[in-house]
Amino acid sequence: MDSADFALQAYDEGRADGVAGRKDHGRGDDPDYRVGLADGQLAVFEAELIAAIRKAMDGKN
């Protein structure tokens, strides 16, 4: 495995952790993991925001 593969794996694991709402404190020094974690957390926030807007707009024309 080359360094790009390790970076993608770290990002993917971070994103999965972000979506699941957990954090691996042992990997906090890995910038690829942290970017994936932030992306996962952002994806959850975005989905919740859209759901809240749809709920608020439901039935309003």
Q: Where are the domains of the chain?
A: 3-57
Residue 1: band (very low, low, confident or very high) from pLDDT cuts 50, 70, 90: confident
What pLDDT is attached to residue 61? 56
What pLDDT is attached to residue 59? 65
Rg of the chain over Cα atoms, rounded to whole angstroms, equals 16
- The tens digit of pLDDT for each residue in 10-28 reads 999 999 999 999 999 999 8
Q: How many CB atoms lie within 10 A of CB 30?
A: 18
Q: How many CB atoms lie within 10 A of CB 38?
A: 13
36, burial (CB in 10 Å: exposed 0-12, middle 13-18, buried 19+)? buried
What pLDDT is attached to residue 7? 96
